[in-house]
């Protein structure tokens, strides 16, 4: 962090900084959290005074501690609001102990820190525990791609901690043995590691308030080696690339979860041997029986279900299905989801029966299309669908026209990462004339629309409330005149073009 004496090029007068609107200050202070401090000169005291005077700024502000950057924590102690965040980045105590200035600073402001992150760090476990002790009012803790090494003889009682994320990191879960207040837990291990989760299991089943649990890459995990009954009721469960050695214990755990509303199951890179074991059929059947279920996400590759009858009567109102399994293409699986209001599909083909179910549904309001055929898209005809999302899908202009003629009631259109063949300015004009859009997003198309395409969209869509144009033009970014035009019309917007995309490509 800059001290009172240090400066960077192109300084701005302090009085000018203090009178800038919040939006500008947030942009300026973004530079202060990057590796290269640039474009602004500001002392710690000025920064503290300006940030402390704006509740909106405070919500966006966080401090980053690195091996080279030092903060004047004494000055920053004026920041008394509750939304402070502190990030340790590429910070290490393996060869040297915690810096005295850091310790003194955390003793001053640690009680105000609510969010703490460790990114790419290497810490002795004793130093890690010391930092957590000095921030004992912590609510959110994230450890990403870090190593917390050594033995721990002191277990923390973080009474206010409600969110714990350990992502691809080495850490002893014993440290959190006394934590009982977690509402959100996310654990992700490296794909090649078989992590011993015995201590984590004990912590997990001691939680009383846990609502959201995400487990990623727990391959051949010992997490449910012991049969234990939970004292919490989950609302959201996400299992991504997980395989538990004692599946029966895991199923008992699932049976006892009576409040699940949101479930995500991803098996996209699991070993083929699991297919022969029929490992997931009973697990998914158990999940499908949850009468509280409202949202279901299935991401499945190289796994063929023996049948789909276990899906019958599923109560989910939102379904996201991604599968390269030909079983789904040939099966009328949608008939098992009679209450669907939102459908996202990424499969090879929708057969006639599934297409008919979509077209006759009186509940379906949102349709998200990923990688399905152009002619299948053109055959969708449902007067209730209001929101359309197109992602990584090639659609012929004739099928676009057919869809629009069949579904003129669409008011929200989102097109992402799609090379839409002959989808040009003229055709975009046709779409915006035919559809009375209130929300439109064109994202990462790299086609080369002129920046002022938004004016044509606004002219054709009189009721437009939101527009997002991202990388529609690789020649130049949007300027303030573009944004002022939309502000005057009270239209929310997100305009951005990455000019670096226009640089010559480096040959392989």
Q: What is the pLDDT of residue 308?
A: 78
Residue 489: band (very low, low, confident or very high) from pLDDT cuts 50, 70, 90: very high
Contact by Cβ (8 Å): 183, 159: no
pTM of the predicted model as reported, rounded to 2 decimal places:
0.79
Domain with CATH 3.80.10.10 in the chain: 365-508
Mean pLDDT of 429-439: 95
The structure tokens listed for 407 are: 């579904």
Over the stretch 216-239, which tens digit does the pLDDT of each residue have? 988 778 888 888 888 899 999 999
| Phi-psi category of residue 173: left, alpha or beta, with phi > 0 → left and psi -120 to 50 → alpha | alpha
**Residue 421 pLDDT level (bands cut at 50, 70, 90):** low
Q: Specify burial of residue 33 (Cβ count, 10 A radius: 0-12, 13-18, 19+).
A: middle
Residue 68 burial (10 A CB sphere; 0-12, 13-18, 19+): exposed
State the sign of the Cα–Cα–Cα–Cα dihedral 149, 154, 155, 161.
Answer: negative
382: pLDDT confidence band, cut at 50, 70 and 90? very high
* pLDDT over 80 (residue 149): yes
Q: What is the pLDDT of residue 103?
A: 84
For residues 123, 197, 288, 277, the Cα torsion angle rounded to the nearest 10 degrees is 120
> Quick check: 474 pLDDT over 50?
yes
Residue 430 reports pLDDT greater than 90:
yes
The pLDDT assigned to 25 comes to 54
The residue with greater pLDDT, 211 or 37, is 211
User: Which letter, b or e, does each residue of 137-151 get, where b requires 16 or more Cβ atoms within 10 Å of its Cβ?
Assistant: ebbbbbbbebbbbee
Q: How confident is the model at residue 156 (pLDDT cuts 50, 70, 90)?
A: confident
CA 114 to chain centre: 20
Tell me the DSSP string of 165-207.
Answer: EEES-B--GGGGTT----SEEEEE--TT-----HHHHHHHTT-
Q: How far apart are CA 68 and CA 65, in angstroms?
A: 8
Question: Worst-scoring range by mean pLDDT, 51-65, 80-94, 230-244?
Answer: 51-65
Tell me which of 3.40.50.300, 3.40.50.620, 3.40.640.10, 3.80.10.10 is the CATH number of domain 365-508.
3.80.10.10
**259-279 in b/e burial notation, b at 16+ Cβ within 10 A?**
ebbbbbbbbeebeeeebeeeb
pLDDT in tens, 105-116: 788 778 888 899
N residues, the chain: 508
127 three-state secondary structure: helix
Judge whether residue 69 has pLDDT over 90: no
Token pair belonging to 27: 């942009």
At residue 437 the predicted structure's pLDDT band, cuts being 50, 70 and 90, is very high
* pLDDT tens digits along 291-337: 889 999 988 876 677 777 777 878 899 999 888 766 777 788 899 89
**Which H or E run contains 283?**
helix 281-288
């Amino acid at each position: 962090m800059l001290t009172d004496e240090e400066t960077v090029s192109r300084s701005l007068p302090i009085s000018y900084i203090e009178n800038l609107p919040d939006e500008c200050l947030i942009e300026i202070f973004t530079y202060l959290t990057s590796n290269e401090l640039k474009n602004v000169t500001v002392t710690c005291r000025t920064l503290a005074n300006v940030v402390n005077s704006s509740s909106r700024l405070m919500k966006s502000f966080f401090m980053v501690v690195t091996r080279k950057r030092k903060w004047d924590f004494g000055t920053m102690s004026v920041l008394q609001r509750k939304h402070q965040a502190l990030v340790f980045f590429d910070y290490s105590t393996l060869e040297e102990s915690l810096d005295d200035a850091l310790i003194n600073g955390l003793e001053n402001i640690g009680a105000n820190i609510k969010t703490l992150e460790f990114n790419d760090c290497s810490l002795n476990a004793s130093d890690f525990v010391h930092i957590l002790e000095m921030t004992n009012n912590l609510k959110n803790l994230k450890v990403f791609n870090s190593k917390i090494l050594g033995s721990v003889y002191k277990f923390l009682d973080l009474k206010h901690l409600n969110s714990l994320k350990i992502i691809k990191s080495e850490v002893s879960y014993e440290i959190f043995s006394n934590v009982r207040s977690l509402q959100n837990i996310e654990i992700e291990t490296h794909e090649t590691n078989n992590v011993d989760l015995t201590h984590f299991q004990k912590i997990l089943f001691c939680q009383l308030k846990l609502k959201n649990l995400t487990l990623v890459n727990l391959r051949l995990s010992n997490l449910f080696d012991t049969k234990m009954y939970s004292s919490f009721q989950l609302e959201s469960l996400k299992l991504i690339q997980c395989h538990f050695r004692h599946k029966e214990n895991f199923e008992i755990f699932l049976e006892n979860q009576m409040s699940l509303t949101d479930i995500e199951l991803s098996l996209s890179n699991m070993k083929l041997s699991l297919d022969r074991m029929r490992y997931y059929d009973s697990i998914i059947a158990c999940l499908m029986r949850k009468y509280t279920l409202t949202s279901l996400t299935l991401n499945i590759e190289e796994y063929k279900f023996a049948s789909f009858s276990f899906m019958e009567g599923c109560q989910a109102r939102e379904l996201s299905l991604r599968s390269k399994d030909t079983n789904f293409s040939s099966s009328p699986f949608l008939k098992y989801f009679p209450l669907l209001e939102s459908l996202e599909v990424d499969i090879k083909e929708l057969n006639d029966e599934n297409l008919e179910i979509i077209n006759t549904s009186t509940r379906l309001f949102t349709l998200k299309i990923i990688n399905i055929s152009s002619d299948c898209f053109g055959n969708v005809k449902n007067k209730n669908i209001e929101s359309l999302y197109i992602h990584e899908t090639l659609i012929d202009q004739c099928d676009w026209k057919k869809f629009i003629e069949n579904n003129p009631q669409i008011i929200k259109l989102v097109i992402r990462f799609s090379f839409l063949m002959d989808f040009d300015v003229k055709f975009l004009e046709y779409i915006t004339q035919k559809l009375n859009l209130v929300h439109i997003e064109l994202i990462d198309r790299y086609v080369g629309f002129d920046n002022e395409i938004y004016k044509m969209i606004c002219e054709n869509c009189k009721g437009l409330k939101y527009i997002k144009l991202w990388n529609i033009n690789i020649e130049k970014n949007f300027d303030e005149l573009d944004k002022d035009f939309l502000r005057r019309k009270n239209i929310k917007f997100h305009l951005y073009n990455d000019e670096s995309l226009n640089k010559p490509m480096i040959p392989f």
